């Protein structure tokens, strides 16, 4: 069970004792305070304002200077410019508008930041290519692949790959923009990028998946590398897919470094160092939720004993459920595209092991479903989804999943799984908080509903789900180290200790921004992330 202190969260993540006098307690007492860039200038002194912001045009269009006199006007100008250039990419336009709205008080206080944001919204590189591959019948098939390298201001590009039938360049542009902010919050030297293809792994054989992955990486290999871009797994891209791509990458480039991130790669490079990005993502979300709940309640509430609604049943969802069990919480649901399973008494570790065995028995080829888990549990109940359920795809129908009563919700299934209707059901069901574990699982309409609810806790994915990038960076730094003694001494305790420290920094930065600007966690995360990006851009001469 977890206690109510952050030290307990550290012990939960690492398995170490946090009692007074222990090695961990002494280590924590020596830990320096987090140095925040929020509210500081490039050199950490008092803000240096542009003398007369109105005299400097933010844009020049049609021979007319576009100036601003307030942060709201600056945000509106950037939004109109993005809509003019990228109006066909509605998701990107909405994401930019959401972030720009959060940054209005920053633009008011530090006008130079508006010019930095103007540069940031334009991606550095958009790479699109065709991916030919051979199916089981010997037919040549073609899909479209893409990689958006959005910003390298803070370091080499880094971000996931996703394979899904509805994966488009427009969606990848949106995800890459959000990835920049998530990687910034980690405090690590990581730029932001995302990629993927409109390839649907479900129902494909192993050879078909291998054929596609090898063809995909042949096109992408020229644009990636440890000093340029480090792609990792994502939706539809697990360790098997990463392994196929890494094997072909090595044969093509004769490089054995961290050009691709993943367990298969790290274990190949570092031998006994065992990492898991999905486990880190799930654990990080629960650590963030624990700190946010305790901070908001002044220590009166915690995750212990809380009934939690978890959507999805993939690696991240199972990691969230396991972390909740370790925290003393009660995860009561898991789901997939066909429906959801409810365990009224909560999933135990043994039950989650059984779910994992069901789902990982070659899920793509044989299409294993959550309903099969019910064969192994007499207490479970399976409910098929209502027609049209999910993310407001049909405004006349709703899905009963988000009407389940509970204390906290952890959406882990995928992009835009919660729309306005689902958000209203969550709030009306007396759920006290939503902590995003998937990539942008809530639509903008859903976010507005959740944020407008009084005393409701909402943690955006860019903050709550920062554990994945943190673990990727830690793992690759250990795996590519030339210090063999350091590699031999690396343990899971070290890696998850680094995860705890990283998630603590993320929360502290976001909370500091919330307190400084009197905003909620949604705006605080955007402000904290952009503070680091904006200062780096000013130092590097973008502004």
More confident: 246 or 202? 246
Tell me the pLDDT of the chain averaged across its residues. Answer: 82
Phi (first) and psi of residue 476, to 5 degrees = -70, -35
| pLDDT score, position 491 | 63
C-beta of residue 339 within 8 angstroms of C-beta of residue 382: yes
| pLDDT score, position 336 | 87
Q: Which of 29-33, 317-321, 493-497 has the lowest mean pLDDT?
A: 29-33
CA distance 255 to 252: 8
More confident: 55 or 136? 136
What is the pTM assigned to this prediction? Answer: 0.84
- Give the DSSP H or E segment for 463: helix 461-464
- Region at 21 (left for phi over 0; alpha for psi -120 to 50; beta for the rest): left
Phi (first) and psi of residue 428, to 5 degrees = -70, -25
| pLDDT score, position 471 | 80
CA distance 136 to 124: 38
CA distance 462 to 83: 23
pLDDT tens, residue by residue, 190-223: 999 999 999 988 888 999 999 999 999 999 999 9
| pLDDT score, position 27 | 42
pLDDT tier for residue 478 given thresholds of 50, 70 and 90: low
pLDDT tens, residue by residue, 375-400: 888 999 998 875 433 444 333 334 47
pLDDT tens, residue by residue, 410-449: 999 888 899 999 999 999 888 999 999 998 899 999 999 9
Does the structure show a pLDDT above 60 at 266? no
In this structure, what token pair is assigned to residue 387? Answer: 């027609």
- Region at 146 (left for phi over 0; alpha for psi -120 to 50; beta for the rest): beta
Pairing state between β 307-310 and 330-331 = parallel
CA distance 405 to 513: 32
In this structure, what token pair is assigned to residue 347? Answer: 């999933």
* Rounded mean pLDDT, 137-161: 94
CA distance 134 to 494: 43
pLDDT tier for residue 271 given thresholds of 50, 70 and 90: very low
Of 308, 287, 278, 147, the C-alpha closest to 217 is 147
pLDDT tens, residue by residue, 312-358: 988 889 999 999 999 999 999 999 888 899 999 999 999 999 998 88
């Amino acid at each position: 069970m977890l206690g109510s202190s952050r030290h307990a969260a550290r012990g939960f993540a690492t398995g170490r004792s946090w009692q007074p006098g222990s090695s961990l307690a002494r280590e924590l007492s020596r830990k320096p305070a987090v140095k925040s860039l929020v509210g500081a200038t490039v050199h950490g002194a008092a803000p240096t304002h542009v003398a007369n912001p109105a005299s400097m045009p933010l844009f020049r269009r049609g021979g007319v200077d576009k100036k601003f006199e307030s942060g709201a006007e600056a945000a509106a100008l950037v939004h109109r410019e993005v809509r003019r250039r990228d109006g066909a990419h509605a998701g990107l336009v909405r994401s930019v508008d959401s972030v720009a709205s959060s940054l209005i008080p920053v633009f008011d206080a530090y006008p130079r930041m508006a010019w930095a944001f103007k540069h940031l919204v334009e991606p550095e590189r958009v790479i699109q290519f065709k991916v030919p591959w051979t199916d089981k019948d010997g037919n040549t098939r073609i899909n479209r692949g893409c990689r958006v390298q959005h910003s390298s201001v803070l370091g080499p590009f880094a971000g996931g790959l996703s394979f899904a039938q509805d994966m488009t360049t427009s969606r990848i542009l949106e995800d890459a923009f959000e990835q920049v902010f998530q990687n910034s919050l980690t405090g690590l030297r990581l730029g932001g990028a995302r990629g993927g293809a409109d390839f649907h792994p479900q129902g494909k054989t192993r050879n078909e998946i291998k054929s596609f992955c090898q063809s995909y990486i042949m096109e992408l290999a020229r644009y990636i590398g440890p000093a340029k871009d480090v792609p990792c797994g994502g939706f539809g891209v697990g360790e098997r897919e990463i392994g196929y791509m890494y094997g072909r990458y090595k044969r093509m480039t004769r490089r054995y470094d961290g050009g691709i991130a993943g367990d298969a790669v790290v274990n190949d490079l570092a031998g006994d160092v065992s990492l898991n990005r999905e486990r880190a993502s799930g654990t990080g979300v629960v650590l963030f939720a624990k700190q946010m709940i305790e901070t908001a309640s002044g220590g009166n509430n915690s995750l212990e004993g809380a009934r939690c609604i978890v959507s999805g049943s993939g690696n991240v969802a199972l990691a969230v459920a396991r972390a909740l069990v370790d925290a003393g919480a009660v995860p009561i649901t898991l789901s997939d595209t066909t429906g959801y399973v409810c365990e009224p008494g909560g999933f135990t570790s043994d039950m989650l092991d059984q779910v994992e065995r069901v789902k990982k028995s070659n899920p793509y080829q044989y299409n294993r479903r959550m309903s099969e888990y019910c064969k192994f549990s007499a207490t479970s109940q399976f409910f098929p989804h209502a027609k049209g359920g999910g993310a407001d795809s049909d405004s006349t129908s709703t899905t009963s999943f988000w009407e389940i009563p509970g204390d906290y919700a952890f959406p882990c299934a995928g992009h835009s799984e919660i729309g306005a209707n689902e958000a209203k059901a969550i709030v009306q069901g007396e759920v006290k908080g939503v902590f995003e574990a998937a990539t942008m699982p809530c639509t903008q309409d859903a976010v507005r509903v959740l944020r407008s609810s009084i005393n409701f806790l909402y943690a955006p994915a860019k903050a709550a789900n920062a554990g994945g990038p943190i673990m990727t960076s830690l793992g690759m730094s250990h795996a590519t180290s030339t210090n063999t003694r350091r590699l031999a001494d690396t343990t899971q305790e070290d890696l998850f200790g680094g995860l705890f420290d990283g998630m603590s920094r993320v929360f502290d930065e976001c909370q500091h921004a919330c307190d400084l600007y009197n905003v909620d966690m949604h705006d605080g995360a955007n402000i904290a992330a952009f503070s680091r990006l904006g200062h780096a851009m000013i130092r590097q001469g973008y502004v």
